[in-house]
Structure 1
């Protein structure tokens, strides 16, 4: 049986990005609005793809399109907290990858939220599915979780 997302810990994520929340992230209830979490997911995934996988969103011949997404919330966060965004890969296919992001308050061991999405890589111009480039695959392989599927 898979580990429940709420039981994830920092050790479950091989890559982290520190992220400072903004005033505009808060909603009328003074906590981070649920839609903002998807911006955090994009930030950590695309930072990793650019830094470790050789992708440039503006010029790479392949781009990742989001085909599904999810998020589970466990504890509120709010501005001016600093967050640690943990990233792992749960499934790596021929042309797709499923990411998981743990959102941690800085210094905390348990996530406040866990979510993620699936990218399908496509040719930039034609938008046809294409195999993940070798350099990108190499970088993504470093993020595979213990129960990940290839």
Structure 2
């Protein structure tokens, strides 16, 4: 379970930021971003980073990351047409697994509207057997590794 200090996180607690312009379809009937959309946002920032900074090519890389656990804690509503900053760090880095933490901030705010994350286990893209992450992936993820913030 996430710790209560997640709400105290700030942008500076994260190593990588990706802007996101909300869409009308992100809103639910209550006129705020639907909870399920946050997991799309998490997937977007993690995979953008893996592609841009770790050399991952989803259809060609010999190994891929599969999500084995995920979580999210909400602090403030967001809605279209908000512009967001998705902020990413790595909390744990193992031989074949990585745990990410993601802060979702309304652009211009230093307090998170939500904080969540998930754990990837890298597997062979054909056999789906656990495998060590490649040196390029490990190096890229090490650049995001932090030791003090939020959940872990």
Q: TM over 0.5: same fold?
A: yes
Give the aligned partner of residue 140 of structure 1. Answer: 141
1:3 Cα deviation after fit: 7.3
Give the Cα separation in 2 of the matches to 1:31 and 1:57: 31
Give the Cα separation in 2 of the matches to 1:70 and 1:3: 14
CA deviation map 1:24-60 (0-9, x unaligned):
0000000000000000000000000000000011110
Larger strand percent: 1
Give the Cα separation in 2 of the matches to 1:147 and 1:11: 12
Gaps of 5+ in 1: none
CA deviation map 1:41-96 (0-9, x unaligned):
00000000000000011110100000000000000000011100000000000000
Q: Give secondary structure in 1 for the equivalent of 2:147.
A: strand
Give the Cα separation in 2 of the matches to 1:51 and 1:3: 32
Give the aligned partner of residue 130 of structure 1. Answer: 131
Gaps of 5+ in 2: none
Give the Cα separation in 1 of the matches to 2:10 and 2:78: 17
Give the Cα separation in 2 of the matches to 1:9 and 1:3: 14
State the TM-score, normalizing by the size of structure 2.
0.94
State the TM-score, normalizing by the size of structure 1.
0.95
Aligned-CA RMSD value: 1.2
Aligned pairs, number: 147
Distance 1:74 1:35, change over 3 A: same
Give the aligned partner of residue 68 of structure 1. Answer: 69
CA deviation map 1:90-124 (0-9, x unaligned):
00000000000000000110100000100000000
Give the aligned partner of residue 33 of structure 1. Answer: 34
